[in-house]
Structure 1
Amino acid sequence: MPRKNETGRAANGSGSIRKRTVTKNGKSYTYWEARVTVGHDPITGRQVQRSITGKTQKEVAQKMREMAVEVDQGTYQAPSKMTLGEWLDIWLKDYLGSVKPRTLESYQCQIKNHIRPQLGPIKLDTLTTHTIQHFYNSLTDSGLSPKTVKIVHGVLHKALQQAVAISYLRFNPSDACILPRVERKELKPLDDDAIHQFMDAVKGHSHEFLFLVTLFTGMRQGEVLGLEWQDVDFEHGTVLIRRQLQKLKDKKGKYRYQFTSVKNSKWRKIAPAPFVMHWLKRQRAKQAEWRLLAGSAWEDTGLVFTNELGGHLMPHTIYHNFKRIVTDMGLPATRFHDLRHSYAVAAIKSGDDIKTVQGNLGHSTASFTLDVYGHVTDQMRQESAQRMEQYIKNVSGQ
């Protein structure tokens, strides 16, 4: 008999177990079932019941006990028919309004290409850690890099965490998953000789000052292409980095170049070396000549680095010009982004502290900067040890 509460009605979490046999396609199937009271309708007072089934009476009894505890503790959630795919659609539409367009596009890509095909049909509240772990393992087995798997996990985890926040889930089943180890690629910054060679190679090049400013400020490619004259303060010797040029989808689904806020939406002001400010002045003078030659055809974008008609430069144009230069130098594997790494390493070797380098690069934390460029500090420790060794020899007379 179901247990009663003080009102005489069946208590929440109570129920009875019965054995049932059904026939399908001429075959008989036997199972055990319990109807458990999980609450009462606030208007009619009628019992709200849920069905529990299992292969054995013992299995159903165990499920009943677990449900009774959840009901008593107020943590019970009724099963939902919503699938993960349906929840992801809701999440993308209603919960990512403050996310940058490029980030949203990345989320949509990971969901479309990886998450939805394998996990989309699964009911949201039946998604388990093991199912997600198996999904991640299958991505690795199919040839996806550990970094990509980590990105997929980040999107899925964020979506499920929002489901937890609004009580669609009691916990995030992706929390306990184990991700493949991401091996950090070895950085290949230009050394002092290569930097000297690069500076010689770009002399007279149409993008000479763009390359030099990038190399000695550590700006990202999108940031240097989005830099405006109003953000260059020659009087105080500072540059404000607040936006970047990116290729994004418009509302019609077509890609076009747009100016967006910098990564993490955190503006940063840097104080470049006087050499850098001098190159910017030369760039301004060169641009003034282009303006006179272009006449009415000049496009007044306010950008620091433009084509000869004042329009923004194409990233792929800068990339191809850069690759030709470094290939001629005998460094075909060098990427444009390695100019940023070269600046960071040169700054640290020159004596800048990690916090300063972090601020100039626009990293979110100094620990991230230290993690990326830790090998440089290791080298500096060795050099410090050698200097101390020489000092000891000098003071000890050995």
Structure 2
Amino acid sequence: MKIYKNSRGKWEFKTRAGVKPDGSVRWVKRSFKTKKEAEKAYMELMSEVHKGTYVTPSKLLYQDFIEQWFETKQHSINIQTKRVYRGHIDKQIKPLLGQMKLANIKPVHVQNFINELVSSGLSPATIRKIHRIVSMSFDYAVKIKELPDNPAKYVILPKNTKREMKVWSKEEVEKFLKEVKSSRYYIAFHLALTTGMRQGEILGLRWKDIDFENKTLTVRQTLAHNKKEFLNGGKTSNAVRKIDLFDDTIKELKAHRKVILAEKLKKGDKYQDFDLVVCTSNGTPTSQANIKRVMDNAIKRSNVPKIRFHDLRHTHATHLLEKGENVKVVAERLGHSKSSFTMDVYSHVTPSMQKEMVTRLQQYFQFG
């Protein structure tokens, strides 16, 4: 191999870089503005060849590659996650990175991409989700020898600011439930506040999932955001769980079941029976928009702080932890995979728990 000046005045080298799958020699030819650049590139290339890390530059555009990756990835994720990925790929990733060749994407390009997302006003949490999709696709490219390394590993992401958690006091919970008692969706709010279930889990709950004798329910399916599909299992593997119910909850469920059975009898063949606990008067799945409308109106009438439906789950967990319930038990009830995650989410409760723990230990040991 020698570095030489070609007819166009550029410095060039041509060298062997291994063997192709068919057994023929793989040649690499590159040209540069200066001799120094050519020498440096040649040494880097030879180092990769000797280490076995050299990858032939892909001619694929990134927009075509990420489609190939998504085709493979979609079989291992649920429907809702698939829709989220699809949306970010089409709306942010392909428009900003898609026209680049996969082999040409460097950390600086990914950093510029992240900076564009920040400038567009997307939240840090959303940007981190988009970065994760891009990074997973590059990991796959490395795995199948399309890239030597993942360029998304080296970028600086915006700080993920935690959204302030809002929870209701015992008195506020009671005021809200009293106000929403007459609604057909009362049972949805009651379940959220007494079990900590996610909204999709509540809207997908069936009567056959409830064991009235043992006072438990089992989370086995969730209602997708589009209100058209039920997803088997939960948000995660830990989300499929059994939850013990309060006596009051059993009482409310039995009363609610009588209402549903009466509607079913009245509608006859027009009733669409999905066996749902929370449903419309025709038996069909309930939309989150309807739940939100009822909740917002009840909040105004009861004059309690405005919170999201998901904050009812936070309210349930916060009260359990404040009452000294074991973190592991709370994590299992919520369907969290790790107790450490529960403690991180509910870190606002930790100071009071620490003080109560010290008080209990002092009383136990009776120092002095």
Following superposition, the deviation at residue 395 of structure 1 comes to: 7.5
Alignment coverage as a number of residue pairs: 366
Give the Cα separation in 1 of the matches to 2:290 and 2:129. Answer: 29
Out of 318, 325, 328, which is 1:355 matched to? Answer: 328
Give the Cα separation in 2 of the matches to 1:119 and 1:356. Answer: 45
Q: Deviations over 1:26-66 (max 9, x none)?
A: xxxx2100111223568786x43211221211221121122
Give the Cα separation in 2 of the matches to 1:159 and 1:275. Answer: 49
Superposition pairs for residues 307-386 of structure 1, below 5 Å?
307-331=280-304, 333-385=306-358
Query: Residue 263 of structure 1 aligns with which residue?
Result: 235
Alpha-carbon distance change, 205 to 182 in structure 1, aligned in 2, over 3 angstroms: same
Superposition pairs for residues 161-240 of structure 1, below 5 Å?
161-240=139-218
Alpha-carbon distance change, 62 to 192 in structure 1, aligned in 2, over 3 angstroms: same
Superposition pairs for residues 234-313 of structure 1, below 5 Å?
234-248=212-226, 257-261=228-232, 262-266=234-238, 267-313=240-286
Q: Deviations over 1:63-96 (max 9, x none)?
A: 1122122222222221221121110111112332
Alpha-carbon distance change, 17 to 328 in structure 1, aligned in 2, over 3 angstroms: same
Give the Cα separation in 2 of the matches to 1:380 and 1:72. Answer: 58
RMSD: 2.2
Letter in 2 for 1:246: A
Partner of 1:51: helix, strand, or coil? Answer: strand
**Structure 1 unaligned blocks of 5 or more:** 1-14, 23-29, 249-255
Give the Cα separation in 2 of the matches to 1:62 and 1:78. Answer: 18
Letter in 1 for 2:160: V
Query: Residue 53 of structure 2 aligns with which residue?
Result: 75
The yes-or-no answer on 1:18 pairing with 2:10 is: no
Give the Cα separation in 1 of the matches to 2:184 and 2:22. Answer: 78
Paired-residue identity, %: 33
Query: Residue 109 of structure 2 aligns with which residue?
Result: 131
Give the Cα separation in 2 of the matches to 1:293 and 1:41. Answer: 73
Partner of 1:339: helix, strand, or coil? Answer: helix
Query: Residue 37 of structure 1 aligns with which residue?
Result: 16
The answer (yes or no) to whether the contact 2:322–2:352 under 8 Å persists in 1 is: no
Following superposition, the deviation at residue 135 of structure 1 comes to: 1.2
Query: Residue 114 of structure 1 aligns with which residue?
Result: 92
The answer (yes or no) to whether the contact 2:331–2:342 under 8 Å persists in 1 is: yes
The answer (yes or no) to whether the contact 1:239–1:270 under 8 Å persists in 2 is: yes
Letter in 1 for 2:17: V
Query: Residue 26 of structure 1 aligns with which residue?
Result: none
Letter in 2 for 1:327: K
TM-score (norm 1): 0.86
Alpha-carbon distance change, 221 to 48 in structure 1, aligned in 2, over 3 angstroms: closer
Alpha-carbon distance change, 231 to 39 in structure 1, aligned in 2, over 3 angstroms: same
Q: Deviations over 1:150-201 (max 9, x none)?
A: 1110110111111112121122111121111011011111111211212221
Out of 50, 54, 62, which is 2:32 matched to? Answer: 54
Query: Residue 82 of structure 2 aligns with which residue?
Result: 104
**Structure 2 unaligned blocks of 5 or more:** none
Give the Cα separation in 2 of the matches to 1:370 and 1:377. Answer: 8
The answer (yes or no) to whether the contact 2:142–2:150 under 8 Å persists in 1 is: yes
Following superposition, the deviation at residue 119 of structure 1 comes to: 0.9
Letter in 1 for 2:97: L
Alpha-carbon distance change, 395 to 104 in structure 1, aligned in 2, over 3 angstroms: closer
Give the Cα separation in 1 of the matches to 2:165 and 2:13. Answer: 62
Alpha-carbon distance change, 318 to 40 in structure 1, aligned in 2, over 3 angstroms: closer
User: Higher helix fraction: Structure 1 or Structure 2?
Assistant: 2
